[in-house]
Protein backbone atom coordinates (compact mmCIF):
# COMPACT_ATOMS: atom_id res chain seq x y z
CA UNK A 1 0.00 0.00 0.00
CA UNK A 2 1.89 3.05 1.17
CA UNK A 3 5.58 3.26 1.72
CA UNK A 4 5.01 4.33 5.30
CA UNK A 5 4.55 0.78 6.51
CA UNK A 6 8.18 -0.28 6.43
CA UNK A 7 10.17 0.83 9.42
CA UNK A 8 13.22 2.71 8.29
CA UNK A 9 16.19 1.69 10.38
CA UNK A 10 16.92 -0.31 13.47
CA UNK A 11 18.66 2.67 14.98
CA UNK A 12 15.38 4.59 15.09
CA UNK A 13 14.39 5.62 18.57
CA UNK A 14 12.54 2.83 20.38
CA UNK A 15 9.10 4.43 20.82
CA UNK A 16 8.61 5.29 17.18
CA UNK A 17 9.98 1.93 16.24
CA UNK A 18 7.48 -0.04 18.20
CA UNK A 19 4.75 2.05 16.64
CA UNK A 20 6.02 1.12 13.23
CA UNK A 21 6.17 -2.47 14.28
CA UNK A 22 2.59 -2.41 15.47
CA UNK A 23 1.46 -0.94 12.20
CA UNK A 24 3.38 -3.58 10.35
CA UNK A 25 1.77 -6.26 12.45
CA UNK A 26 -1.71 -4.85 12.08
CA UNK A 27 -1.24 -4.73 8.35
CA UNK A 28 -0.55 -8.48 8.47
CA UNK A 29 0.32 -9.59 4.97
CA UNK A 30 0.86 -6.03 3.88
CA UNK A 31 3.62 -5.80 1.31
CA UNK A 32 7.02 -4.28 1.89
CA UNK A 33 6.96 -0.65 0.69
CA UNK A 34 8.02 0.03 -2.87
CA UNK A 35 11.08 2.03 -1.94
CA UNK A 36 12.28 -0.60 0.49
CA UNK A 37 11.64 -3.24 -2.13
CA UNK A 38 13.76 -1.38 -4.68
CA UNK A 39 16.50 -0.98 -2.09
CA UNK A 40 16.47 -4.72 -1.42
CA UNK A 41 16.57 -5.51 -5.13
CA UNK A 42 19.47 -3.08 -5.40
CA UNK A 43 21.34 -4.82 -2.57
CA UNK A 44 20.85 -8.23 -4.19
CA UNK A 45 21.85 -6.90 -7.59
CA UNK A 46 25.02 -5.55 -6.08
CA UNK A 47 25.60 -8.95 -4.50
CA UNK A 48 25.25 -10.70 -7.85
CA UNK A 49 27.57 -8.23 -9.54
CA UNK A 50 30.12 -8.71 -6.75
CA UNK A 51 29.87 -12.46 -7.18
CA UNK A 52 30.71 -12.02 -10.85
CA UNK A 53 33.59 -9.71 -10.00
CA UNK A 54 35.01 -12.31 -7.66
CA UNK A 55 34.50 -15.08 -10.15
CA UNK A 56 35.24 -13.52 -13.55
CA UNK A 57 35.13 -16.95 -15.19
CA UNK A 58 31.37 -16.82 -14.79
CA UNK A 59 31.44 -14.16 -17.53
CA UNK A 60 33.23 -16.48 -19.96
CA UNK A 61 29.99 -17.61 -21.55
CA UNK A 62 28.94 -14.02 -22.12
CA UNK A 63 32.30 -12.93 -23.55
CA UNK A 64 33.41 -16.00 -25.46
CA UNK A 65 30.18 -17.41 -26.79
CA UNK A 66 29.41 -14.54 -29.15
CA UNK A 67 32.99 -14.43 -30.41
CA UNK A 68 33.43 -18.16 -30.91
CA UNK A 69 30.02 -18.76 -32.44
CA UNK A 70 30.24 -15.87 -34.84
CA UNK A 71 33.73 -16.80 -36.05
CA UNK A 72 32.84 -20.47 -36.24
CA UNK A 73 29.66 -20.07 -38.21
CA UNK A 74 30.82 -17.33 -40.50
CA UNK A 75 34.03 -19.12 -41.48
CA UNK A 76 32.80 -22.73 -41.43
CA UNK A 77 29.36 -22.37 -42.96
CA UNK A 78 29.61 -18.87 -44.33
CA UNK A 79 30.92 -19.89 -47.74
CA UNK A 80 28.47 -22.66 -48.58
CA UNK A 81 25.37 -21.29 -46.87
CA UNK A 82 26.17 -17.82 -48.14
CA UNK A 83 26.34 -19.12 -51.69
CA UNK A 84 23.02 -20.87 -51.43
CA UNK A 85 21.61 -17.60 -50.13
CA UNK A 86 22.81 -16.03 -53.33
CA UNK A 87 25.91 -14.29 -51.98
CA UNK A 88 29.11 -15.20 -50.12
CA UNK A 89 30.26 -15.42 -46.53
CA UNK A 90 29.72 -11.66 -46.20
CA UNK A 91 26.02 -12.01 -46.80
CA UNK A 92 26.00 -14.91 -44.34
CA UNK A 93 27.19 -12.50 -41.62
CA UNK A 94 23.98 -10.55 -42.02
CA UNK A 95 22.06 -13.81 -41.91
CA UNK A 96 23.66 -15.47 -38.92
CA UNK A 97 24.33 -12.55 -36.54
CA UNK A 98 20.63 -11.79 -35.94
CA UNK A 99 20.14 -15.54 -35.49
CA UNK A 100 22.95 -15.73 -32.96
CA UNK A 101 21.39 -12.81 -31.15
CA UNK A 102 18.32 -14.97 -30.58
CA UNK A 103 20.47 -17.87 -29.46
CA UNK A 104 22.55 -15.83 -27.02
CA UNK A 105 19.50 -14.65 -25.16
CA UNK A 106 18.59 -18.25 -24.54
CA UNK A 107 22.06 -19.40 -23.56
CA UNK A 108 22.63 -16.56 -21.14
CA UNK A 109 19.19 -17.02 -19.61
CA UNK A 110 20.22 -20.57 -18.80
CA UNK A 111 22.71 -19.37 -16.18
CA UNK A 112 19.97 -17.96 -13.99
CA UNK A 113 18.84 -21.51 -13.20
CA UNK A 114 22.16 -22.58 -11.75
CA UNK A 115 22.40 -19.32 -9.81
CA UNK A 116 19.04 -19.88 -8.14
CA UNK A 117 19.97 -23.47 -7.48
CA UNK A 118 23.25 -22.42 -5.83
CA UNK A 119 21.47 -20.07 -3.47
CA UNK A 120 19.26 -22.84 -2.23
CA UNK A 121 22.01 -25.33 -1.68
CA UNK A 122 24.07 -22.92 0.37
CA UNK A 123 22.55 -21.37 3.46
CA UNK A 124 22.14 -17.92 1.91
CA UNK A 125 18.45 -18.26 1.25
CA UNK A 126 17.73 -19.18 4.86
CA UNK A 127 19.32 -16.02 6.10
CA UNK A 128 17.39 -13.88 3.60
CA UNK A 129 14.17 -15.57 4.62
CA UNK A 130 14.64 -14.63 8.25
CA UNK A 131 14.93 -10.97 7.24
CA UNK A 132 12.08 -8.50 6.73
CA UNK A 133 12.27 -8.45 2.94
CA UNK A 134 10.10 -9.63 0.07
CA UNK A 135 11.48 -12.92 -1.13
CA UNK A 136 10.78 -12.07 -4.74
CA UNK A 137 13.49 -9.39 -4.61
CA UNK A 138 16.06 -12.20 -4.74
CA UNK A 139 14.57 -13.43 -8.03
CA UNK A 140 14.11 -9.99 -9.52
CA UNK A 141 17.73 -9.06 -8.82
CA UNK A 142 18.82 -12.28 -10.53
CA UNK A 143 16.80 -11.35 -13.60
CA UNK A 144 18.16 -7.79 -13.63
CA UNK A 145 21.75 -9.07 -13.59
CA UNK A 146 21.10 -11.71 -16.25
CA UNK A 147 19.54 -9.05 -18.45
CA UNK A 148 22.72 -7.04 -18.06
CA UNK A 149 24.80 -10.06 -18.99
CA UNK A 150 22.58 -10.63 -21.99
CA UNK A 151 23.06 -7.07 -23.21
CA UNK A 152 26.85 -7.39 -22.83
CA UNK A 153 26.81 -10.61 -24.86
CA UNK A 154 24.71 -9.00 -27.60
CA UNK A 155 27.03 -5.95 -27.69
CA UNK A 156 30.05 -8.21 -28.14
CA UNK A 157 28.21 -10.19 -30.79
CA UNK A 158 27.41 -7.03 -32.74
CA UNK A 159 31.03 -5.85 -32.37
CA UNK A 160 32.35 -9.09 -33.84
CA UNK A 161 29.63 -8.94 -36.47
CA UNK A 162 30.65 -5.43 -37.56
CA UNK A 163 34.29 -6.53 -37.74
CA UNK A 164 33.25 -9.33 -40.08
CA UNK A 165 31.20 -7.04 -42.29
CA UNK A 166 27.76 -6.87 -40.70
CA UNK A 167 25.75 -4.13 -42.35
CA UNK A 168 22.84 -2.29 -40.81
CA UNK A 169 20.59 -1.80 -43.78
CA UNK A 170 17.80 -0.17 -41.81
CA UNK A 171 18.42 2.21 -38.88
CA UNK A 172 20.04 2.27 -35.48
CA UNK A 173 16.58 2.42 -33.99
CA UNK A 174 15.61 -0.80 -35.75
CA UNK A 175 18.84 -2.38 -34.52
CA UNK A 176 17.98 -1.38 -30.95
CA UNK A 177 14.51 -2.79 -31.45
CA UNK A 178 16.02 -6.13 -32.42
CA UNK A 179 18.19 -6.08 -29.28
CA UNK A 180 15.15 -5.22 -27.19
CA UNK A 181 13.15 -8.02 -28.75
CA UNK A 182 15.92 -10.52 -28.02
CA UNK A 183 16.21 -9.31 -24.43
CA UNK A 184 12.44 -9.52 -23.95
CA UNK A 185 12.32 -13.05 -25.23
CA UNK A 186 15.41 -14.01 -23.23
CA UNK A 187 13.82 -12.71 -20.02
CA UNK A 188 10.73 -14.80 -20.59
CA UNK A 189 12.98 -17.84 -20.90
CA UNK A 190 14.58 -17.01 -17.55
CA UNK A 191 11.36 -18.05 -15.82
CA UNK A 192 11.69 -21.52 -17.33
CA UNK A 193 15.24 -21.78 -16.09
CA UNK A 194 14.33 -20.41 -12.67
CA UNK A 195 11.65 -23.08 -12.48
CA UNK A 196 14.23 -25.71 -13.47
CA UNK A 197 16.71 -24.33 -10.96
CA UNK A 198 14.14 -24.60 -8.19
CA UNK A 199 13.09 -28.10 -9.19
CA UNK A 200 16.42 -29.81 -9.89
CA UNK A 201 18.60 -30.95 -7.07
CA UNK A 202 22.04 -30.04 -8.38
CA UNK A 203 23.50 -27.31 -10.54
CA UNK A 204 24.81 -29.95 -12.94
CA UNK A 205 21.35 -31.43 -13.36
CA UNK A 206 20.01 -27.96 -14.15
CA UNK A 207 22.62 -27.49 -16.85
CA UNK A 208 22.09 -30.96 -18.29
CA UNK A 209 18.34 -30.47 -18.44
CA UNK A 210 18.72 -27.02 -19.96
CA UNK A 211 20.97 -28.39 -22.72
CA UNK A 212 18.36 -31.01 -23.57
CA UNK A 213 15.83 -28.25 -24.14
CA UNK A 214 18.21 -25.90 -25.89
CA UNK A 215 19.84 -28.09 -28.51
CA UNK A 216 16.80 -29.08 -30.59
CA UNK A 217 15.34 -25.60 -30.31
CA UNK A 218 18.55 -24.00 -31.54
CA UNK A 219 19.34 -26.26 -34.43
CA UNK A 220 15.78 -26.91 -35.49
CA UNK A 221 15.39 -23.23 -36.28
CA UNK A 222 16.23 -20.64 -38.88
CA UNK A 223 19.18 -19.41 -36.78
CA UNK A 224 21.98 -21.00 -38.77
CA UNK A 225 20.45 -21.82 -42.12
CA UNK A 226 17.20 -21.07 -43.97
CA UNK A 227 14.66 -23.83 -43.29
CA UNK A 228 13.62 -23.97 -46.96
CA UNK A 229 16.11 -26.82 -47.56
CA UNK A 230 14.88 -28.82 -44.53
CA UNK A 231 12.40 -31.74 -44.74
CA UNK A 232 8.76 -30.78 -44.42
CA UNK A 233 8.18 -32.07 -40.88
CA UNK A 234 11.19 -30.11 -39.64
CA UNK A 235 10.01 -27.00 -41.46
CA UNK A 236 6.71 -27.30 -39.65
CA UNK A 237 8.66 -27.35 -36.39
CA UNK A 238 10.93 -24.45 -37.30
CA UNK A 239 7.94 -22.36 -38.36
CA UNK A 240 6.59 -22.48 -34.84
CA UNK A 241 9.95 -22.48 -33.09
CA UNK A 242 10.07 -19.16 -31.24
CA UNK A 243 13.79 -18.94 -31.91
CA UNK A 244 13.06 -18.92 -35.65
CA UNK A 245 10.50 -16.20 -35.14
CA UNK A 246 12.95 -14.15 -33.11
CA UNK A 247 15.79 -14.72 -35.59
CA UNK A 248 13.56 -13.76 -38.53
CA UNK A 249 12.32 -10.67 -36.74
CA UNK A 250 15.86 -9.58 -35.86
CA UNK A 251 16.93 -10.22 -39.44
CA UNK A 252 14.13 -8.06 -40.76
CA UNK A 253 14.98 -5.32 -38.31
CA UNK A 254 18.69 -5.34 -39.21
CA UNK A 255 18.70 -6.15 -42.91
CA UNK A 256 15.26 -4.96 -43.90
CA UNK A 257 12.32 -7.12 -44.89
CA UNK A 258 9.10 -8.27 -43.24
CA UNK A 259 9.09 -7.92 -39.46
CA UNK A 260 5.53 -7.68 -38.20
CA UNK A 261 4.55 -11.36 -38.28
CA UNK A 262 7.81 -12.69 -36.83
CA UNK A 263 7.99 -9.99 -34.18
CA UNK A 264 4.37 -10.55 -33.26
CA UNK A 265 4.95 -14.28 -32.92
CA UNK A 266 8.04 -13.66 -30.78
CA UNK A 267 6.18 -11.36 -28.43
CA UNK A 268 3.28 -13.81 -28.26
CA UNK A 269 5.68 -16.58 -27.34
CA UNK A 270 7.45 -14.42 -24.76
CA UNK A 271 4.12 -13.43 -23.25
CA UNK A 272 2.80 -16.98 -23.18
CA UNK A 273 5.98 -18.39 -21.66
CA UNK A 274 6.02 -15.71 -18.97
CA UNK A 275 2.32 -16.07 -18.21
CA UNK A 276 2.65 -19.80 -17.71
CA UNK A 277 6.05 -20.26 -16.11
CA UNK A 278 6.42 -17.11 -14.02
CA UNK A 279 3.49 -17.92 -11.70
CA UNK A 280 4.67 -21.53 -11.50
CA UNK A 281 8.21 -20.42 -10.65
CA UNK A 282 7.01 -17.92 -8.07
CA UNK A 283 4.72 -20.52 -6.49
CA UNK A 284 7.52 -23.04 -6.42
CA UNK A 285 9.82 -20.40 -4.96
CA UNK A 286 7.31 -19.59 -2.22
CA UNK A 287 6.92 -23.21 -1.34
CA UNK A 288 10.58 -24.09 -1.33
CA UNK A 289 11.63 -20.97 0.54
Residue 2 is a binding residue for another protein (CB under 8 A) = no
Among 55, 56, 60, 173, binds another protein (CB under 8 A): 55
Please report the DSSP string for the chain in residue order.
Answer: --GGGS---TTS-HHHHHHHHHHHHHHTTPPPPHHHHHHHHHHHHHHHHHHHHH-GGGGHHHHHHHHHHHHHHHHHTHHHHHHHTTS-HHHHHHHHHHHHHHHHHHHHHHHHHHHHHHHHHSTHHHHHHTSSS-THHHHHHHHHHHHHHHHHHHHHHHHHHHHTT----S-HHHHHHHHHHHHHHHHHHHHHHHHHHHHSSSHHHHHHHHHHHHHHHHHSSSSSS-GGGS-HHHHHHHHH-HHHHHHHHHHHHHH-S--HHHHHHHHHHHHHHHHHHHHHHHHHHHHH-
Based on CB atoms, which residue is closest to another protein, 128 or 237?
Answer: 128
Among 1, 2, 9, 173, binds another protein (CB under 8 A): 9
Residue 11 is a binding residue for another protein (CB under 8 A) = yes
Among 65, 110, 112, 133, binds another protein (CB under 8 A): 133
Tell me how far, at minimum, the Cβ of 25 lies from another protein, in Å: 5
Residue 139 is a binding residue for another protein (CB under 8 A) = no
Residue 18 is a binding residue for another protein (CB under 8 A) = yes
Among 122, 171, 202, 229, binds another protein (CB under 8 A): 122
Based on CB atoms, which residue is closest to another protein, 8 or 279?
Answer: 8
Among 2, 60, 86, 127, binds another protein (CB under 8 A): 127
**Binding segment for another protein among 129-137, 190-198, 237-245, 258-266 (CB under 8 A)?**
129-137
Catalog residues that contact another protein under the rule CB under 8 A.
6-11, 13-14, 17-18, 21, 24-25, 28, 30, 36, 39-40, 42-44, 46-47, 50-51, 54-55, 122-124, 126-133
Amino acid sequence: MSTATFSPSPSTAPPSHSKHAEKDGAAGRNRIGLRANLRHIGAFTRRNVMQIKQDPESMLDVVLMPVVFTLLFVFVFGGSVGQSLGGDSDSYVNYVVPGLMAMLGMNVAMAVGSGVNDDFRTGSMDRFRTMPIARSSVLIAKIVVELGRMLIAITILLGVGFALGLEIKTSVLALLASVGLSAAFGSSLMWIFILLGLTMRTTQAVQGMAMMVLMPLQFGSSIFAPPSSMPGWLQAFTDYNPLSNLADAARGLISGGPVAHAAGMTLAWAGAITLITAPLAVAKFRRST
